[in-house]
């Protein structure tokens, strides 16, 4: 098993109904596997938000959702931000 800490920001936080959570996954899981698990856990609201999100793995942008997750990593879920 691999456990990752998922932190949600802005609209993703509202859709998930929490700021963060620990997610256990089978060893060898990828970012794509994590996204699938998050959809299962949080249903339609988060599922709508996730396709437009960016992901940071220990503070580094994820370019390939096939990237493997190591035990204890942090994954930030960042929806597009608007600002001015």
What is the overall mean pLDDT for the chain?
94
Give SS3 for 28: coil
pLDDT tens string 9-23: 999 999 999 999 999
- C-alpha dist (Å) from residue 81 to 9, 45, 51, 53, 84: 10, 17, 14, 10, 10
Q: Considering the entire predicted model, what is its pTM? A: 0.92
Domains of the chain (ranges, CATH numbers): 2-78 (3.10.20.30)
Q: Rounded to whole angstroms, how far apart are CA atoms 70 and 30?
A: 9
Q: According to the model, what pLDDT value does residue 82 have?
A: 55
Give residue 75's Cα distance to chain centre: 6
pLDDT of residue 24 exceeding 60: yes
């Amino acid at each position: 098993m691999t456990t990752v800490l998922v932190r949600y920001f802005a609209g993703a936080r509202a859709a998930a109904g929490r700021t963060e959570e620990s997610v256990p996954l089978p060893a060898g899981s990828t970012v794509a596997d994590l996204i699938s698990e998050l959809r299962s856990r949080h249903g339609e609201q988060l599922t709508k938000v996730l396709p437009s999100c960016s992901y940071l793995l220990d503070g580094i942008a994820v370019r390939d959702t096939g990237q493997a997750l190591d035990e204890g990593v942090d994954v930030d879920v960042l929806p597009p931000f608007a600002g001015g």
